[in-house]
Structure 1
């Protein structure tokens, strides 16, 4: 049987984008916005279906305008026109790019001038975890050409919509989490004493692709005697040694949606301190799974996990949060942290990521992916073993 069988259909039906657009337009009306201008890949893709890796090039800006009513309008480089025509978008305005003296600015000015003339309110993303994906100089020139246009923060509108997933999105997320779980299951057959850590990364990526992942754009980890000290560095050429504890954390993708979770192992033998740290984190994750219900706040979810972590570490690894949202991006809103009062809703997809410090500067991280249903959390990942696995 092919590992790729039973995969969901790629893309979404037009009704998915129509629903998303209608929902955000209803919120725009309540907030008094006359339009919304989007410049970043996840938001452009979310409302249009335009999916390409070409965003990795910083050369060209891309714009999507969401009017108060009707379909979004694409203002994009000509190189993307054919792909955009395959989406549900009808109004596609292009220019020959790159054009440093006018990279879509005159087209945007023409589109937005009626709003500016009437003192209209244009929503843009200004908040945390957003960015302006166009040259600041071009943005200043655009605003200078549109006197009277009022720029308002639309972060909350898009954030609230994207945090709650449709069933079609959840199906894709479940699929990539299953691929990630099968890949992690293969690690004990791949990893062995003497294998350079960087070679384990290469073999893990190959395994994920063979299991059906489209890509593995994110893979980090750590390995050292009795426990690792860092979880975001590239892999070293150092061979795995007996007594090492190592972790792999992957963000693999399928059809533009991410999984994001990790697994820990010991090589040959596991020391008592690492076994203890693993047990605390496993139980902290259990507490998070139990607490992740509609109506719970992210702050409460954080404290549910942190109350277990403090058995061993009162700082919780000092990483600032113990999980986050998941979807078209490796990390999305919200954050499981003491500062986040976001109320968890049904169909949010979240990571639970407790961490702690132990021993002489060692750290450990444990992570699972869940979807929140009406009656509580449902695991999308295959639950990690309750005791630290030894290879």
Structure 2
């Protein structure tokens, strides 16, 4: 199968988002929002325009949205990208080095400024912005993150397509394992990438991960030329980008006849995620949902071998970036998960003597319950 090319974001969708953010700014007393993004994490800018910074160094890899509470935004980026940015953007575009002048012209001394992307922004640019708006405060804010977390019907449709493509990537891994005489981690990752792109993905959502045998005991690692061996546990973490939206998925499998320990690891991870899927409902808090998954991992004896069991968190928001700020499905977040949120639920087990896997599903919490966006099985013995 091949999906149709992703559509351009409707201008009405961008206008809806700008309006929602401006209303939140007024409620919280902000005169201006500064939203920072780079070529690796694009959502804070791409939420307002189909432009994304290109891979590179210095300003071509960076972009800033300056959004006043009462007027249209301006996009700032590197001078080498200005023409491209203007072709993708319905409002003013300017060179990033002109941002300080813009701020001095548009802000009164008593105006509070919200910053989205504080964890990403380079120290030098942060200092430049703070000096330009002084004495007005620059306040790190999750205002934009809260709004991004709740997907519109149009956004949800794009995410469904991304999840379909991710399933096709896993099917390609299964096919390669089943037909190849010998196959490496890197070949399996490339098989997934090629299948997703050939089916309509723009790119993989991130560098695809495949880790086999002893390397599956690493929680996160890039693939190598290691050849799969019979009995290996194999960890995969694969996702597709469709237009502006990505899916984040993970499945494990055993290559050949499984040992009893390997089968138990696969079952424990699947059971933990299934407990989360059963618990997810309108009105549940992120901490309570995390607890449903974490409890199974601990009860099955994996407290020592699972970051999720130790409290690292069992899921995260997904949308324009593979990992978005909200919701964070973790033990300390007691906020209720908003209806319309799209997020992952996951269980990772990494046993140094046996190997490991990650089982990660992408879901949508709607008014009537949970929608599973991906469908690939969680228990795999190939």
Fold match by TM threshold 0.5:
yes
Provide the C-alpha distance between the structure 1 equivalents of 2:357 and 2:227, rounded to a whole number of angstroms.
Answer: 20
Q: 2:24 aligns with which of 27, 32, 36?
A: 27
Of 357, 365, 379, which aligns to 2:372?
379
3-state SS of the aligned residue for 2:207?
A: strand
Structure 1 position 175, deviation (Å): 0.2
1:335 aligned to 2:354?
A: no
Which is greater in Rg?
1
After superposition, the Cα gap between the structure-2 partners of 1:308 and 1:145, relative to the gap in structure 1 and judged at 3 Å, is closer
Equivalent pair of 1:36/1:123 in contact (CA under 8 Å): yes
How far, CA to CA, are the matches of 1:346 and 1:207 in structure 2? 32
C-alpha distance in 2 between matches for 1:181 and 1:56: 30
Task: Tell whether 2:177 aligns with 1:177.
Answer: no
8 Å contact from structure 1 (residues 34, 68) kept in 2? yes
**Match of residue 216 from structure 2:** 228
What residue number does 2:45 align with? 44
- Number of the residue aligned with 2:11: 14
- C-alpha separation in 1, matches of 2:63 and 2:352: 49
Q: C-alpha separation between the residues in 2 aligned to 1:62 and 1:126?
A: 11
Q: How many residues align structurally?
A: 369
Q: 1:76-124 deviations in whole A, cap 9, x for unaligned?
A: 3333333333345332233xxxxxxxx61xx223322245544211111
Report how far residue 196 of structure 1 moved: 2.1
Cα distance in structure 2, aligned partners of 1:88 and 1:126: 20
Residue number in structure 2 paired with 1:205: 193
Moved more, 15-24 or 314-323: 314-323
- Contact 1:48–1:72 under 8 Å retained in 2: no
Matches of 2:124 and 2:164 in 1, distance apart? 44
**TM-score normalised per structure 1:** 0.87
Match status 1:362 vs 2:355 = yes
CA distance in 2, matches of 1:285, 1:39: 33
Unaligned runs of 5+ in 1: 95-102
2-structure distance, mates of 1:24, 1:58: 28
Structure 1 residue 321 corresponds to structure 2 residue 321? no
Please tell me whether the aligned partners of residues 35 and 65 of structure 2 are also in contact (alpha carbons under 8 angstroms).
yes
Compared with structure 1, are the counterparts of its residues 167 and 214 closer, same or farther at alpha carbon in structure 2 (3 Å cutoff)? same
Structure 2: segments with no counterpart, 5+ residues: none
**Separation in 2 of the partners of 1:337 and 1:218?**
25
Pairwise CA distance, 1:269: 0.7
**Kept in 2: contact 1:327–1:349 (CA 8 A):** yes
Distance 1:183 1:239 in 2: 19
C-alpha distance in structure 1 between counterparts of 2:24 and 2:262, whole Å: 49
With structure 2 as the length reference, what TM-score do the two structures score? 0.89
Decide which of 275, 281, 296 is 2:269's aligned counterpart: 281
1:116-164: CA deviation from partner (whole Å, max 9, x where unpaired): 544211111365xx3214xx345434533443222222x2211110111
* Counterpart for residue 187 of structure 1: 173
Aligned-residue offset at 1:193: 5.0
Q: Distance in 2 between matches of 1:56 and 1:173?
A: 27
Q: Which residue of 1 aligns with 2:138?
A: 151
For 1:371 and 1:117, locate their aligned partners in 2 and report how far apart those are by CA, in whole Å.
41
